[in-house]
Amino acid sequence: MTRYLESIKPLSTDEGLNNSIKAINEFSAPGGLGEVLQNRLYELDKRESNNWLESLWLNKAYLEWREPSFININWFAKFSDNPALGVDTNAKSGSFTMIQIERAAGLISNILNTNDKINSQQLAPDMQKGTPLCMNQFKYQFGTTRIPQEGCDTIVSQYPCKSRHIVAMYHDQIFSVPVYDVHGDRVSIKSIVQQLLNVVNEVRTSRNLELPVGILTTENRDTWAKARSKLEKDPLNRATLEAIDSALFVVCLDSIGVDSQLLSNVDETCNHFLRSNDGRNRWYDKAFQIIVLNNGQAGCNGEHSPVDALTTGRICVDAAIGEPAQDPAGISSNKSPEIGQPKHLRWSIGADVYRTIEDAKVNATKLAKNVNVLLADMEDFGSEWIKQAKVSPDIFVQMAMQLAYYRKYNEPCATYETASTRAFLHGRTETIRSCSMQSLRFSKAFDDNTVSINDKIQLFKGAVAAHANYMKAAGMGRGVDRHLMGLRYQINSEKELEEAKIFTDPAFARSCTFKLSTSNVSSGDYFRGGFAPVTEHGYGINYNIGKDKVTFSISEWINSSETDSTHMKQAIIKSMQDIRSSIEYFAKYN
């Protein structure tokens, strides 16, 4: 409660803060409702196999969400280019290229290497300051699919994942593609190339193409659940859905050439990885999809429910680092393996599902056209200079974003930064509330000519220290948001709901309306990602901190009357430069 109160102060008026303090004191008083709800959390913890939060978070944050997971939940990333294959600058829309096929095959092989390591428990653990983190999330990457159900979705998964096929998609056609031989052994990259060529050639020559059923995965979850239930009544559809659900992962071959306005620059390329061509040629329910364009560029799209983005990110970064791909040990590219042929998955579509598909096309296009991603590259400096200034690189960027927002709007806003709680068994994330009284004081003072440079630097250091304290607390499970969510969902009567004034206090909603939703990936030069804003008038900001540069992706909803990603991009870059200049000036003259 003390930490929560501190987090709402910069967002509150004096009168509003007094009301909040009263609500907090009533809630947390001995024998009060807070104590009752806390005891229910203890009981929940006893019933859960690992921790009280795991199932609650999965259901409330993701599976009960009824709006489309497309764009709203799914995130994207763009990989660095393959150093051996490069980019085909002559790729034409509607076509495929060998660079595309060869890169896709190499990435598939590299990702299969990771699945083999996960199955045999040979994947080296992620580390945080010398401490190994819980690796449970990696069990929910391969053979994993979110299944729509009315009211609350479910997740099907395999561990160890023994599936021997992937799903390949080309021109909205879906294929089950074996990537192991009939004995269950790995095949060469050359063999995977041939499998993908078989897929492309069948689509190009077939006179019997299927409807774009994958577009249904972009729909409202209840709408999709009803359509899937109708599809499952037919044995042909059940077999197709089983093949998709059990597949290791999805590979999408996109025919968007360099002549297309969709890919006129790197910003548009990243937008394409987020929203595809208005949701086409995807199965958004799979845990992750590798996307390879016909110019040779590649990326991924991840479904956030089963795992956090850093988990999928590691799999993808390892695959990109391993390029140009090499066959696994003991595999001969000259050997002709006994391998099953790709199977074109078929559908039986009734009139009602057909109408749902047509509606989904319209709805997906509307949603896709309402989001925009803008990239920003800060190439003046990176983590090396920031560390020399004795500041955490991550906190430096967070303070720059606080200053940038204040400069643009002349007020602070609730800010979300992702903290990992994987130091705990089955831990996922907690919120770092980046906006503090200290960051507000710093932001207010920075452009005030009546404040000395010495005082500005001291205010900056105070903001940095406050953020560091909250970051440490969040990573150790002592944040605000997950605990408050847990308490709120223990309320089981109208009387208790009325009594819990802490949750009806306007400050609570304001502090959870994260107009800045931010995440630090920091995966070097191999991977840059992004996601949509979590509020109507907010920004989604993903950033990577390299040694010599910092890169951002900044998203906004186009129909928002309050956001301007171009201006925000400029404000963030200028704020970083200005903070650096102030630190250097202070160091020079003190």
What are the catalytic residues?
A: 304
Contact indicator for 542, 553 with CB cutoff of 8 Å:
yes
Beta bridge partners of 431: 418
What are 110-113's contacts with CB under 8 Å, separation 24+?
A: 110/318, 110/319, 110/322, 110/323, 110/325, 111/249, 111/290, 111/315, 111/316, 111/319, 112/179, 112/186, 112/248, 112/328, 113/318, 113/322, 113/328
Dist CA 45 CA 177 (whole Å): 43
Dist CA 537 CA 511 (whole Å): 14
Q: Are strands 343-344 and 173-178 parallel, antiparallel or unpaired?
A: antiparallel
What's the angle, vertex CA 544, arms to CA 540 and CA 550, rounded to 5? Answer: 105
Contact indicator for 62, 304 with CB cutoff of 8 Å:
yes
Dist CA 527 CA 321 (whole Å): 10
- Beta-carbon contacts of 515 under 8 Å, excluding residues fewer than 6 positions away, are 405, 413, 414, 415, 535, 537, 538, 539
Backbone angles phi, psi at 21, to 5 degrees: -60, -40
Dist CA 542 CA 464 (whole Å): 20
The backbone region for 121, taken as left when phi is positive above 0, alpha when psi lies in -120 to 50, beta otherwise, is left
Tokens of 375: 């990239």
What secondary structure letter does DSSP report for 262?
G
What's the angle, vertex CA 251, arms to CA 249 and CA 253, rounded to 5? Answer: 170
Contact indicator for 166, 177 with CB cutoff of 8 Å:
yes
CA proximity to 66, closest of 226, 229, 267: 226
Which secondary-structure segment (H or E) carries 272?
helix 266-275
The residue written with tokens 């061509």 in the block is 277
Q: Which alpha helices (H) appear in 9-97, and where do they start and end?
A: 14-28, 33-47, 54-57
Cis? peptide before 306, omega within 30° of 0: no
Dist CA 186 CA 178 (whole Å): 10
CA proximity to 587, closest of 411, 403, 484, 460: 460
Helix, strand, coil content of the chain in percent (nearest 5): 45, 15, 40
Contact indicator for 415, 401 with CB cutoff of 8 Å:
yes
Backbone angles phi, psi at 444, to 5 degrees: -65, -40
Tokens of 458: 């001291």
Dist CA 371 CA 78 (whole Å): 17
Tokens of 126: 């992620």
